[in-house]
């Protein structure tokens, strides 16, 4: 009888250890209140946390990543994305911090495009041009959210139905974005969409990174690499001219890691137009699926961010329009170049440039794209 009790005890101990180990492998999701919009709609925050300690917070307003805590070489976790700690600032002051962007990320010249000889007019919310989906793009809508827990990852499935002619775009567009955090410190972002009328689509994620974890420091000392032999020159309103230009012997050569600040003050027409970098690079090996496209490294913390995507372009924005007027979620304000963006996407103004990859989505087709953000220490 004693042997039976002893074996039963061993079984229970083993079972508890298995449960403990299984729980340790899970990425968890915690849902919290994040206030109400000015219209009285409740906003919720979803916190994904993996077993290593990486923590990513997402709100259903704009699909915004409000916080992204990553470990430095000393094992200290710090927030490495710019943002706010309240919904009011996201509604009223937000320069797209952490947001999902659509229907069309980046700029469309003069807010005009045509499909099958029919002309469409969009809001000109960026000087004379259309930017990031208009006055109320996907960054300013409430998304439906489902939670999915796996053995070694967790996902947030965000859904939104953009109605026909919303912000001037044709077609009822069903959009799904899936954020998945795994235990390898990777965040996958999958974009899906379908339409009942031919339309244009270009979705992206607009997090502002500062890998130092100190938002009072600018990003000039970050080492940036972009896997692109060429970039898109722009005019004075930041619309691509249609030319595809070689990066060699220009400030836009990031084929090998280079300090962001090394050439950013160079007297160069393209740099002057953007007051720094605000350009799209033509990524190498388009058509090969998800591949390495860019990396950023901060030597002070040891944090390395690698970006993988199936998209043809990446917009590197060096935070040139941050001016210190926005209060940080911690101490101080967001000053000039205190964050940078790496926005994987189709080329700006593609609807009006036949030589660029087509952004058209037709009924019966599916828009599908993936970008992966991978963190490590070196």
Report, as residue numbers or ranges, the catalytic residues. Answer: 206, 343
199 token code pair: 């339309």
61 token code pair: 């307003």
Kindly give, in sequence order, each residue whose CB lies less than 8 Å from that of residue 332, ignoring residues fewer than 6 positions away: 215, 216
Strand, helix or coil for residue 154: strand
CB-based contact 378:297 (threshold 8 Å): yes
What is the spatial distance between Cα 100 and Cα 137, in angstroms, rounded to a whole number? 9
Strand partners, 294: 226, 307
What is the spatial distance between Cα 94 and Cα 175, in angstroms, rounded to a whole number? 22
The candidate with the shortest Cα–Cα distance to 309, out of 59, 105, 66, 51, is: 105
Q: Quick one: DSSP state of residue 5? A: H
What is the spatial distance between Cα 97 and Cα 206, in angstroms, rounded to a whole number? 6
What is the spatial distance between Cα 161 and Cα 78, in angstroms, rounded to a whole number? 35
What is the spatial distance between Cα 362 and Cα 199, in angstroms, rounded to a whole number? 7
Q: Decide: residue 35, CB within 10 A, 0-12 exposed, 13-18 middle, 19+ buried.
A: middle
Locus of tokens 């372009």: 313
């Amino acid at each position: 009888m004693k042997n039976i009790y002893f074996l039963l005890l061993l079984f229970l101990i083993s079972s508890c250890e298995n449960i403990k180990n299984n729980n340790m492998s899970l990425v968890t999701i915690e849902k919290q209140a994040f206030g109400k919009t000015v219209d009285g709609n409740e906003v919720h925050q979803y916190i994904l946390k993996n077993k290593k300690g990486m923590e990513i917070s997402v709100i259903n307003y704009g699909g915004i990543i409000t916080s992204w805590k990553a470990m430095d070489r000393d094992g200290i976790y710090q927030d490495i994305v710019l943002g706010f700690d309240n919904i009011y600032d996201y509604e009223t002051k937000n320069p797209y911090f952490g947001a999902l962007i659509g229907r069309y990320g980046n700029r469309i010249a003069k807010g005009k495009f045509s499909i099958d000889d029919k002309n469409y007019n969009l809001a000109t919310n960026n000087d004379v041009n259309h930017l990031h989906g208009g006055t109320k793009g996907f960054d300013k809508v409430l998304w439906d959210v489902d939670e999915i827990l796996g053995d070694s990852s967790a996902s947030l499935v965000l859904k939104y139905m953009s109605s026909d002619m919303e912000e001037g775009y044709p077609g009822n567009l069903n959009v799904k974005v899936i954020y998945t955090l795994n235990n390898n410190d990777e965040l996958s972002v999958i974009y899906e969409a379908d339409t009942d009328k031919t339309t244009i689509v270009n979705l992206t994620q607009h997090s502002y990174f500062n890998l130092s974890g100190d938002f009072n420091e600018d990003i000039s000392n970050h080492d940036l690499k972009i896997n692109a032999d060429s970039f898109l020159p722009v005019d004075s309103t930041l619309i691509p001219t249609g030319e595809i230009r070689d990066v060699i012997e220009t400030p836009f050569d990031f084929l090998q890691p280079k300090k962001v600040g090394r050439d950013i003050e160079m007297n160069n027409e393209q740099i002057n137009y953007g007051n720094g970098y605000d350009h799209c690079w033509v990524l190498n090996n388009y058509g090969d699926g998800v591949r390495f496209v860019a990396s950023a490294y901060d030597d002070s913390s040891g944090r390395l961010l690698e970006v993988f995507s199936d998209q043809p372009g990446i917009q590197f924005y060096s935070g040139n329009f941050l001016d210190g007027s926005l209060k940080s979620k911690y101490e101080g304000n967001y000053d000039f170049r205190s964050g940078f963006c790496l926005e994987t996407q189709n080329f700006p103004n593609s609807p009006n440039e036949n030589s660029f990859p087509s952004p058209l989505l037709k009924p019966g087709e599916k828009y599908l794209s993936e970008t992966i953000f991978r963190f490590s220490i070196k």
